[in-house]
Structures are given as C-alpha cells and as structure tokens.
C-alpha cells in the first residue's frame, strides 16, 4: 500500500512516463468490485465449461477436466472503464490460444468472433484475434490465489496490457466475463450485455472507447 497520496501520485506519474497509463485513467492499489447481479454459487460437481459454434466438435469440460488443462501465467496491467487502473497483476489460467494450438479446440475457418457466456445469461463479445492473443486468459488465479467469488470464481475471462506488447489490442477490463460458463465461436459479431447498454463495442483503452458502440 502507498504510504501517502504523494507516493501514489509519484507511482502514477511513473506509469504514465513508461507509457502504461491510458488516457483518463488513475492508478489504484485496490481491486474494486463491479458487476451486475448477485454472486452465483459454485458447485464443482455440476459446473462445466461448454465450447460450441464454429468449431469442428463441441466440447464440455467438467471442473476436474478443466483443471487438468495446460496452464499459463501472465503479468498484466488491467484497466476498468470506470477509470481505475491496476498494475503488475499476475493471472494464472488457461490460454485459448494454447487450446487451439494443441487441438483441444478445433476452430473452423469461418470463426471470427467469440461470445463469452457467463452465469445468469450475461454475455461479452470479442473478436477472435483478441481471444487468441497473449493478453487474454481464462483465469482461475490472481497473484497465486484463487480468484475470489466477487471477482468471478471459479473462472473468468481476463484481458489486459502486457508491458512492452504494444502490438496487442487492449480492451477495457469488462471485456472479460466473470463466472464464465461457455465460449461460443461465431461468424458474425453479437454485442454483449454492456455493449447493448451503450458501451463501446471495441473498447480500446488507448483510444478511450468507453461509450458509443462504434
């Protein structure tokens, strides 16, 4: 934690000078809780993750099966549309790129977009190229601890900025769904919950694409 407001401002200025603080954002050491609806219950005996749509074969993993998949760890800065930024967060989970590369998900050539389906029918849309990038993860852990229920336990999509990887598109943090239950690969785009409510469809943090679909 910062000892004083001046320490926080000094660290924020450092991040800005390093090109890691997007426009309109402010540094936080906290991890604010923001979501629509209640925190769902998790039952490992009945939980599964479904993958369908523009894939050669639909896949369903139970919780035990999902935990046995190859894992990836990524250190990223995350940026919320409500204007807070949290730096140097370390996430562990399953890379969709790895699943595709290893043939655990076999994508059809027609696949262009991915819809994340979460509890209560909540959805988030992203282009396939973002979901297959190094800065998108199906995350189970944050900083070596399981994600807490209010942050999406047992599984959430996570997208952020990897320092030094300006080649990767970085959407705002809402583009990773909490309490994830399915991935639908599609030919065409389909706006998710917040996009239908007026949030920007692309949500690029460096372009400040917060509201207005396009």
Q: pLDDT by residue (tens digit) across 173-187? A: 999 999 999 999 999
Residue 79 domain-assigned?
yes
Total structural domains within the chain? 1
Residue 98 domain-assigned?
yes
Residue 212 domain-assigned?
no
Task: Report DSSP state, residue 148.
Answer: P
Can you give the CATH number for the domain in which 18 is found? 3.90.420.10
For 52, list phi and psi in degrees, rounded to 5. -155, 180
Residue 37 domain-assigned?
yes
User: What is the residue range of 94's domain?
Assistant: 5-207
Residue 14 domain-assigned?
yes
Residue 213 domain-assigned?
no
Phi and psi based region of residue 210 (left: phi greater than 0; alpha: psi -120 to 50; beta: remaining): alpha
Residue 183 domain-assigned?
yes
Nearest to 179 by CA among 126, 121, 104: 121
What's the pTM value of the predicted model, to 2 decimals? 0.93
Using the structure block, give the residue that is written with the tokens 């705002």: 172
Burial class (CB in 10 A: 0-12, 13-18, 19+), 93: buried
Structure tokens at 210: 């917060």
pLDDT of residue 1: 47
pLDDT of residue 32: 81
Residue 214 domain-assigned?
no
pLDDT of residue 4: 63
Kindly list the averaged pLDDT for each block of 10 residues, start to end, along the chain of length 214.
Answer: 70 94 93 81 97 98 98 97 96 98 98 97 97 98 96 97 96 97 98 95 96 72
């Amino acid at each position: 934690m910062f000892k004083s407001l001046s320490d926080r401002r000094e660290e924020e200025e450092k991040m800005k000078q390093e090109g890691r603080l997007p426009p309109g954002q402010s540094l936080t050491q906290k991890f604010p809780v923001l979501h629509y609806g209640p925190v769902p219950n998790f039952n490992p005996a009945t939980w599964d993750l479904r993958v369908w749509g523009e894939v050669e074969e639909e896949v369903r993993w139970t919780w035990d099966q999902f935990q046995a998949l190859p894992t990836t760890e990524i250190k990223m800065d995350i940026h919320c549309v409500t204007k807070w930024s949290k730096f140097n967060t370390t996430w562990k989970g399953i890379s969709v790129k790895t699943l595709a590369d290893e043939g655990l998900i076999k994508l059809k050539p027609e696949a262009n977009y991915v819809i994340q389906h979460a509890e209560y029918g909540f959805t988030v849309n992203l282009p396939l190229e973002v979901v297959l990038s190094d800065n998108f993860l199906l995350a189970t852990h944050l900083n070596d601890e399981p994600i807490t229920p209010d942050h999406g336990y047992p599984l959430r999509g996570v997208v952020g900025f990897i320092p030094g990887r300006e080649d990767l598109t970085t959407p705002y943090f809402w583009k990773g769904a909490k309490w994830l239950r399915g991935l639908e690969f599609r030919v065409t785009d389909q706006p998710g919950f917040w996009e239908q409510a007026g949030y920007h469809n692309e949500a690029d943090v460096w372009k400040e694409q917060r509201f207005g679909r396009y």
